[in-house]
Structure 1
């Protein structure tokens, strides 16, 4: 029998998102409103070979016209990706000595391969029914599509969880800054008001550059960028794109910006320029916030890039601190958010709001793949 509102759910969240790093897994105890318990998160990296296949899949997905279409290799890629998620769940539960039957629901993000809300389209590879069968637990997936179908941006979705996490942090207003493949902010006002939107690239362009120019999966600690010189003229050119002047809510695809202007640069100068662009794009968010934040809390892989955090702090004129300084595991926030959203979906609670995605009214979402009794 399904749990009801007010009862405690134990949910597992799976996040791969827009980055190509791997699968983040986290467990969360919640009643759909409060954060009542959090387990240690874990990351199960993709192999270099599979990461290459995903890059090829991104190129194929650029021409998709429907949410369900899986032409060419995308169908096989989705199946293998889902199987990898099934392995990640099994390994996580075994590694943390969690009985599978104690998990009430799994929140499954999948791998974003296309995000075009202006065309009413967002595509995440991931077969919810297959994952439910592999894990033997109910799976909530495709959490973005209902919002996009209702005219919302379909992103960012973690904002309602960010607010729950920040419930005991006194400073207001504050921003929780997610530095994944794409950067997004959740502004939490003194009265709990939420404003959220994508600010621009975070790690995606930097990662792609490091892979192509230095054979590195990402800029470890920001060391490559720290040795380079940023071309501020190129940064200003990117910032002149119409996206940055648009009022929120707004969202991006990881491939919305072209690295062609830095093609002839050294690995170090290109990394520095891309890092400066990510930082400047975050700072541009200040133009769209009703009050300047007193504090920025950084989560996601980009928080480990000291050069990026330093550039952001300089440009926003406020502390930008890793999530860990507030007892939050910055690697687990997004996976925890997907666990939280899965429970809210099961309870019919809203997961998107006018101030976060632009949908006209608070809206629930997600599809349920249940397990046959």
Structure 2
């Protein structure tokens, strides 16, 4: 998995029959180099055959091939690719990468292009991890509704009722993107400080949230839209203009506050308040963001490590899990996760 934060590629082994999680095994990470990130940033928002896509594909394929060669004895690979553009109500969705090449190189089947089938049937094509979240809730033995919050480049929320056996069944899962999360903070840090991210929220911790900017941000009609709904990485370009005149620390604090406030607005859509909110993705390491959520919500806000899961590798594990579901003809999304017209199994399988 290579997400919208553009930090690098995660790979992880999950043992599964496509229904239950039977265990987790080794995991590895390969960071994108600064040169890689420059190439990928340049290609953001572009579609197949646009000028910078070929170079972005070269970067993505090289990183994945290098990383996946470290693994042995896997039976199937789920390859998400790198999202460059996501416009489900317009041109569709674009993840750069080629599963045929990976299958030939690795000698095992590769499942890829997970999102297109969902979009073709009227879905948002995102988020796709919710069915895995449902399996995780059952794996940890949850007996009441809970929610998973992924704070990556974009934030997404999955509300799960683990008492319902099949994730595609009515009432089992509700999922949607909450709003921008780490991506604008990372962009701010790179632009103003030459850093990849606000480590441990240290800069935001010294600043103040500009409430006027926050209120203008929350006026966006996206937050009142009924889910399912999804976002592109750069869906809120005005965020940077709202903090342009602020000092670095105040800008970081305000962008962090915006990410948290988007989650709080999203929680209003949950059928019932979850028993706990389990946070994954890089944002769980930002104590400022976690504190903002904890203070405002009436349920415990915990990193997923508290229940025995790996917040760095959860999305990579998810696409391994989804690969097995695709290979076995099971659905990977449904109306309550992406708004697709019916439960659908996305992805194409390339065989060596």
Please state how far the C-alpha of 1:240 moved relative to its aligned partner. 0.7
The answer for the alignment partner of 2:168 in structure 1 is none
Q: Secondary structure, in 3 states, of the residue corresponding to 1:112?
A: strand
**Does the Cα contact within 8 Å between 1:222 and 1:305 map onto a contact in 2?**
yes
**Does the Cα contact within 8 Å between 2:122 and 2:340 map onto a contact in 1?**
yes
Structure 1 residue corresponding to 2:119, chosen from 115, 128, 148: 148
The answer for the alignment partner of 1:221 in structure 2 is 200
**Does the Cα contact within 8 Å between 2:142 and 2:162 map onto a contact in 1?**
no
Partners of 2:141 and 2:148 in 1: CA distance: 11
**TM-score, structure 2 normalization:** 0.94
Please state how far the C-alpha of 1:315 moved relative to its aligned partner. 2.2
1:191 pairs with 2:177: no
The answer for the alignment partner of 2:169 in structure 1 is none
Q: Which runs of 5+ in 2 are unaligned?
A: 165-171
Counterparts of residues 96-111 of structure 1 (less than 5 Å): 99=72, 102-111=73-82
Cα offsets for 1:166-198 (capped at 9, x unmatched): 113435221011111111011012633100000
Q: Secondary structure, in 3 states, of the residue corresponding to 2:336?
A: coil
Please state how far the C-alpha of 1:265 moved relative to its aligned partner. 1.5
Counterparts of residues 224-373 of structure 1 (less than 5 Å): 224-258=203-237, 259-371=240-352
The answer for the alignment partner of 1:52 in structure 2 is 38
**Does the Cα contact within 8 Å between 2:39 and 2:55 map onto a contact in 1?**
no
1:112 pairs with 2:91: no
Q: Secondary structure, in 3 states, of the residue corresponding to 1:71?
A: coil
Q: Which runs of 5+ in 1 are unaligned?
A: 1-14, 94-98
Partners of 1:45 and 1:367 in 2: CA distance: 26
Cα offsets for 1:106-146 (capped at 9, x unmatched): 10011111111111500011111111122222111010110
Structure 1 residue corresponding to 2:150, chosen from 178, 181, 185: 178
**TM-score, structure 1 normalization:** 0.89
The answer for the alignment partner of 1:85 in structure 2 is 64
Q: Secondary structure, in 3 states, of the residue corresponding to 1:26?
A: strand
1:161 pairs with 2:132: yes
**Does the Cα contact within 8 Å between 1:279 and 1:312 map onto a contact in 2?**
yes
1:40 pairs with 2:29: no
Cα offsets for 1:280-308 (capped at 9, x unmatched): 00000122111111200001111111111
**Does the Cα contact within 8 Å between 2:6 and 2:37 map onto a contact in 1?**
yes
Partners of 2:58 and 2:142 in 1: CA distance: 45
Please state how far the C-alpha of 1:50 moved relative to its aligned partner. 0.8
Partners of 1:359 and 1:233 in 2: CA distance: 36
Partners of 2:278 and 2:26 in 1: CA distance: 19
Partners of 1:279 and 1:169 in 2: CA distance: 28
Cα offsets for 1:176-229 (capped at 9, x unmatched): 111111110110126331000000011111111111111110110111110111
**Does the Cα contact within 8 Å between 1:179 and 1:203 map onto a contact in 2?**
yes
- The count of corresponding residues between Structure 1 and Structure 2 is 342
